[in-house]
Every structure is written in structure tokens, then in C-alpha cells.
């Protein structure tokens, strides 16, 4: 079972920041948080990941709370092409047998 | 130049048949995976191979048999297809088995009639 809980859907206005929340209250100390997205009829796409510190790359920012029980993915300037299902994932296990367990994700609809 | 490519993209077949889906990655990665996405859109890991060796085998019926002839290829063979096997199957690869940064293919939609 997935160790994350996300709202099933969210809307965002084009050009605005999209903030996608995720709860992972049972996360273990060495488990990373990963974010992926799946645009309709395509394969999942890696966005970003983190352990404790906030992370930023060209796609998004990841804010992880100090207790690590929740995180927020931020798309700074959402475009219509960002409409997708966004998955927050805790990579369970460690080393070579670690696994990504996908949950239901959040369907983000970016509107003009 | 597609990084992770799967064939066929669509597959329609009758119950009881045997079919294969092929996957190739040109990223030089050591690790490859098969995931299944059912009609409710849940993505579940099925298998993981590292350098041709099986390292993750989830609770998958024996009718599913992965084969990795080399580290750039991971094929999925399914025997005696059942209605419940209808799904989209995604192949993925990663640099090594210790990372969660996976590169997914476009998926192969299998429909069993």
C-alpha cells in the first residue's frame, strides 16, 4: 500500500503557482519522497525527490516539513501543459530492493 | 531518439493466448522494470531486473515471465491470457537499483477479449 495521501483533484489558473500537498505521516527516516506526473496516455515522468531538505530543479520545488510527515510540490508558473495526475511517492525499502509504490495521485487541472 | 521504447503499443488478443511485450532502453542504465496500470489507474510494480538479474518479483501469477537477454532489454511474456490481464504495461529503467528516478516508456495497452 502507498504510504502517501493526496487530494484527488485540484484546479489552478494558468500562470499561477500550483501547490500540491501530500501527507506521509508513516515515512521512515531513510525513505525518500518522490514526485512523478502522468500526462494523459503517456508514461509517468519523474519530477523531483528529496529526503529532508527542500529541493528545486527546472521543473518544480519540493518543500518537506521538518518532521517529514508532509510535503508540497510547487509548480511556480503552471501552464496548460502541466495538466496531469501528480503522484507523491515514498520509496519504500532501501538499496537495491527499494520500490516506488504509486498511490492514486492528484489530478491537477490547469485552466486558462 | 526514444530513451525507453516498448512494442507493441497496442495489443488485442483472445483469452488463452500467449503474448509478449518488448522493451529496450538506450540510456545505458543497469536496471529495468515492468509496471502494470489497471483500469482504475493504479500503477503497480511487477518486476525489476539489474544487469539481467531479477531483484524484485512482486506477487505476480506464474503466467507472467520476464526475460532480460541483456541489460538494455527486458521483455514480458504472458501465458494463458485472462480478462483481468487487460491493462497498460509500462517498462522503465533507472541508472541503478538504488535510485527512484525512473524513466518510463509510453506504455503498451493490452486488451484481452
Summarised one tens digit per residue, pLDDT across range B39-97 is: 888 899 999 999 989 998 887 899 999 999 999 999 999 999 999 999 999 999 999 99
CB pair distance less than 8 Å for B100 and A45: no
pLDDT attached to residue B1? 66
Residue from B78, B84, B96, B104 nearest B6 by CA? B104
Task: Answer yes or no: are the C-beta atoms of B3 and B104 closer than 8 Å.
Answer: no
Reported as a single tens digit per residue, the pLDDT across A64-99 is: 999 999 999 999 999 999 999 999 999 998 778 889
Task: Answer yes or no: are the C-beta atoms of B42 and A102 closer than 8 Å.
Answer: yes
Reported as a single tens digit per residue, the pLDDT across B11-54 is: 999 999 999 999 999 999 999 999 999 988 889 999 999 998 99
* CA–CA min distance A33, chain B (Å): 9
- With an 8 Å Cβ cutoff, is B13 touching chain A? no
Reported as a single tens digit per residue, the pLDDT across A4-49 is: 999 999 999 999 999 999 999 999 888 999 999 999 989 999 999 9
pLDDT attached to residue A95? 79
Look-up of cell digits 532480460 = B68
Q: Which residues of B touch A41 (CB under 8 A)?
A: 107
Amino acid at each position: 500500500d502507498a504510504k502517501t495521501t493526496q487530494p484527488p483533484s485540484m484546479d489552478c489558473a494558468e500562470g499561477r503557482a500550483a501547490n500540491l500537498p501530500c501527507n506521509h505521516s508513516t515515512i521512515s527516516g531513510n525513505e525518500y519522497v518522490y514526485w512523478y506526473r502522468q500526462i494523459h496516455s503517456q508514461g509517468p515522468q519523474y519530477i523531483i525527490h528529496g529526503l529532508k531538505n527542500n529541493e528545486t530543479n527546472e521543473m518544480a520545488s519540493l518543500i518537506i516539513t521538518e518532521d517529514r510527515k508532509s510535503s508540497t510540490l510547487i509548480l511556480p508558473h503552471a501552464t496548460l501543459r502541466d495538466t496531469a495526475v501528480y503522484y507523491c511517492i515514498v520509496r519504500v525499502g532501501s538499496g537495491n530492493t527499494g520500490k516506488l509504490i504509486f498511490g492514486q495521485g492528484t489530478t491537477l487541472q490547469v485552466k486558462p | 531518439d526514444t530513451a525507453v521504447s516498448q512494442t507493441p503499443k497496442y495489443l488485442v488478443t483472445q483469452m488463452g493466448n500467449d503474448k509478449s511485450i518488448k522493451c529496450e532502453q538506450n540510456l545505458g542504465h543497469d536496471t529495468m522494470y515492468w509496471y502494470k496500470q489497471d483500469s482504475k489507474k493504479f500503477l503497480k510494480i511487477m518486476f525489476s531486473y539489474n544487469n539481467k538479474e531479477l531483484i524484485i518479483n512482486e506477487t505476480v501469477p506464474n503466467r507472467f515471465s520476464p526475460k532480460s537477454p541483456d541489460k538494455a532489454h527486458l521483455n514480458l511474456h504472458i501465458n494463458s491470457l485472462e480478462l483481468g490481464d487487460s491493462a497498460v504495461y509500462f517498462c522503465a529503467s533507472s541508472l541503478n537499483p538504488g535510485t527512484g528516478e525512473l524513466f518510463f516508456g509510453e506504455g503498451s495497452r493490452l486488451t484481452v477479449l
